[in-house]
């Protein structure tokens, strides 16, 4: 059974959440990351958190789970990879 691609009208609200502008807290936190690839991987989750009013220090497993749900519904290709790329750097991000 193949998975149907969501209609653009169904996807837009989800894309808005993961492509939202960053809050100043997130801009500052990501601005300290010199590795462009790492910063890029963290940006979608940071955008999601910004859109929901979640500050960097408030990110929990529940927030990551909600982010994963939104990515899965977004219609973006390879949603599991996107989530993995956003979650993996968190350990380094908080050191």
The token pair at 72 is: 């899965």
Q: What is the pLDDT of residues 33-90, one digit of tens each?
A: 888 888 888 888 899 999 999 998 898 889 888 988 988 888 888 888 888 887 766 6
Residues 6+ apart with CB under 8 A from 76: 15, 82
Phi-psi category of 5—alpha, beta or left, where left has phi over 0 and alpha has psi -120 to 50? beta
First to last CA, the chain: 43
Taking the model in full, what pTM does it have? 0.76
């Amino acid at each position: 059974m193949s998975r149907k691609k969501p209609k653009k009208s169904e996807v837009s609200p989800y894309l808005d959440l993961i492509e939202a502008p960053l809050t100043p807290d997130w801009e500052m936190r990501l601005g300290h990351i010199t590795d462009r690839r790492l910063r890029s991987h963290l940006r979608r989750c940071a955008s999601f958190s910004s859109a929901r009013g979640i500050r960097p220090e408030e990110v929990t497993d529940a927030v990551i789970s909600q982010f994963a749900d939104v990515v899965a519904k977004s219609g973006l290709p390879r949603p599991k990879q996107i989530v993995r790329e956003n979650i993996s750097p968190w350990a380094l991000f908080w050191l």
